[in-house]
Amino acid sequence: MEMEDQDSLKSRLAELQTEHRDLDDVIARLTGEGPFDQLQVQRLKKRKLLLRDQIERIRSKLIPDVIA
């Protein structure tokens, strides 16, 4: 893997992790303020799961294969 590819993956990973944390904050605020839009929270949680999957895919690309 080229260094540029690895750098771009690390950059993308940081972006996804930031968005994932931001969604945590938004969900916590929405659910902590009395009545909330359940559908909106479900959509945010679904987006968060998709982000987690993307984060894991990138992490697995960044971790070199270990030959056992």
pLDDT value of residue 67: 65
Query: Which domain range does residue 30 map to?
Result: 3-62
Whether pLDDT at 46 is above 60: yes
Tell me, letter by letter, the H, E, C secondary structure of the chain.
Answer: CCHHHHHHHHHHHHHHHHHHHHHHHHHHHHHHCCCCCHHHHHHHHHHHHHHHHHHHHHHHHHCCCCCC
| 14-37 pLDDT tens trace | 999 999 999 999 999 999 988 989
Answer whether residue 16 is part of any domain. yes
pLDDT value of residue 38: 95
Answer whether residue 68 is part of any domain. no
More confident position, 66 or 6: 6
Answer whether residue 67 is part of any domain. no
Q: What is the pTM of this model?
A: 0.81
Domain count, the chain: 1
pLDDT value of residue 53: 98
Answer whether residue 47 is part of any domain. yes
More confident position, 53 or 3: 53
CA distance 20 to 14: 10
